[in-house]
Structure 1
């Protein structure tokens, strides 16, 4: 790890704050190119950085060797000792000017053409399949951390900041914006890679609708809004390791997804339903989604 980000990178503007702290646009004093700086404060012990952080950073660095087109590039990692007990780790990423939220907002009426949505989704799935094959779960996918270059290239960002997980390990429910949260996260059940597929399904619908599909105000409200669309799951499908009961919700039967996403094609609707499947074990994977007939349309 390089020693001090402040020496090499000159902050130009604050891009925004996320679950992981403030993000800055900065200029590399040597090359002159723009980068995005994300700093994380890490509690240190007498041996320096905790092993888990070193491992996470090492994995992110290893991903760079693949140079995946749909994943934001990690250019550098800097560590600065702040106190005896705290180290500031700064991750230096390539800078992309706009995110998917801005990109969708800027699209002239009536919104993005179907072929463009298909292209964006395919790139998104490619990036996700790559992360999942490297045992990385994103956990916080939303339009704000999907970047889109001026040439329409999709790049996933912020994935390295969620905890790296071993493929089947249950995670403590933390982060993730409410509107894109999978039911198992809302129910505080165990979860893994399928949570990212659910979030991507929500984003897929939003590309057509130009507004979010499920806008809940609390976990229970969010679940209620989901069941209005996909129907109330059966008692058998309900996870056993949760405190909230299936009987807490009104019995909704599922409605055609085209009621909510009218512009979507028949194959698009089929893929969307496979992504918005309540049971995470039956939800489609990123790799299988790429083989879906939807991507052969047009």
Structure 2
């Protein structure tokens, strides 16, 4: 990891603040191109950086060698020692002007066409299948963390931060913004890559609706709103190691997803429900989702966009 090359990157504007710190748009003074700077403060031991952070950065750099078209590029990593106990690690990513949230807001009424949504979903799932095949969970997928270039190319962002932070935290329920959290995270039980598929399903619905599908104001309220749509799962699907009992919820019956996502076609609705499956073990994987009939008639636009 390079040390203290911050002079090379000149902050131009604050892009936004996440749960873990501020993100800046900056100019690379050597090449003149714009980049995105994201910093994390890492607790260190007497030997310098924790080995887990080094491992995670090495993983990100390894993923970078594949140069996947649907994953934002990590261009540089800088480390600055702040004290004996703390080091600031700055990740330098390629800069993309808009995220999916902005892209949806800017789309003229009545919103994105079904074919455009299909293309965005295919790209999103391609990026996710790549991460999952390399055993990387994103854990915070939402429209703000999905970038869309001016050419319409989708790039997953912030997955690297999710990995780096996770090394220094217990598996806490604060991962994944509330509206995109799957039941297993809301119930504070164990989770794996299916968390990202649930979030992707929520985003899929939002592309049609132009507003989030489940807008709870607490974990319990969020779970209630989910069960109102997908129905109360059978007793044997409810995790046993959780404090919130299945008995806390009414016996909701599943409702047709078309009631909530009216523009979606039959195959799209089927794929969406395969993503919004309560039991994570029964939830569709990113690779299998790409094989779904919903995508059959789609021209492979993704290959031409590189």
Instruction: Please classify the TM superposition score into its range, dividing by the shorter chain length.
Output: over 0.9
Q: What is the count of residue pairs matched by the alignment?
A: 295
* TM-score for the superposition, normalised by structure 2: 0.94
The aligned residue for residue 114 of structure 1 is: 114
1:118-174 deviation line (CA, Å, top 9, x unaligned): 0000000000000000000000000000000000000000001113699xxx94433
Give the corresponding residue for 2:159: 159
Give the SS at the match of 2:185. helix
User: How far is 1:235 from its partner?
Assistant: 1.2
Q: Using the alignment, how far apart are the partners of 1:20 and 1:165 within structure 2? A: 8
Q: Give 1:237's aligned residue.
A: 237
- Counterpart position of 2:265: 265
1:35 is aligned to 2:35: yes
Query: Counterpart of 2:54 in 1: which secondary structure?
Result: helix
1:18-43 Cα shifts (integer Å, max 9, x gaps): 12210000000100000000000001
Which residue of 1 is the match for residue 19 of structure 2? 19
Q: Which residue of 1 aligns with 2:174?
A: 174
- 1:66 correspondence with 2:66: yes
Question: Which residue of 2 is the match for residue 219 of structure 1?
Answer: 219
Question: Is 1:45 the counterpart of 2:51 in the alignment?
Answer: no
User: How far has the Cα of 1:9 moved from its partner?
Assistant: 0.3
Match of 1:101 in 2: 101
* In structure 2, C-alpha distance between the alignment counterparts of 1:211 and 1:129, rounded to whole Å: 25
Runs of 4+ in 1 over 3 A off after TM superposition: none
Residue 146 of structure 2 contacts residue 156 of structure 2 at CA under 8 Å; is this kept in 1?
yes
What TM-score, normalized to structure 1? 0.97
Q: Structure 2: any 5+ residue segments left out of the alignment?
A: 299-306
Judge conservation of contact 1:185–1:191 (CA < 8 Å) in 2: yes
For residue 2 of structure 1, report the CA deviation from its aligned partner: 1.3
* Contact 2:53–2:164 under 8 Å retained in 1: no
Equivalent residue of 1:131, what SS?
A: helix
Match of 1:2? 2
Residues in 2 aligned to 1:243 and 1:256: alpha-carbon distance in whole angstroms: 30
CA–CA distance in structure 2, aligned partners of residues 67 and 253 of structure 1: 45
